[in-house]
Structure 1
């Protein structure tokens, strides 16, 4: 399965920059849907209400999905790779 990687940087409530990648199936082209995935993730981390637009979230590249990514996509429709300050 090919997936799109969306590189995302969001300023947390404490002022730190949260960096994560949103992984979505390659056929999803609607940026607003990608932002919805990111907002769901932010809500799960207690960061609800943070801005998430093209300024914070941009398409980066396509890659082959790992088994873990595929499982996440089958469960939620997307997968998150936590990079920095996500806890």
Structure 2
């Protein structure tokens, strides 16, 4: 598995574990949402500054984005689609 794929899988795993959508991660890190998706798919070369921005929002060290991935480990499941239902006032 190449490094871009490893970073992308770890980014998605950490993002989903925190319950953040790609849009929320992008907004809080100051990165374009489409770019976040490309990073998660492993099709972007990310800069150290971008990795730092992601790590800060996810409250992890940058090194967590480089964690080795077991090739047999399934990809993280996506978050449920749609907006959260607000409780009535």
Give the TM-score of the pair, scaled to structure 1.
Answer: 0.27
For CA contacts below 8 A with separation 6 or more, give which structure has more relative contact order. 1
**TM-score (norm. length: structure 2):** 0.27
Structure with greater helix share of residues: 2
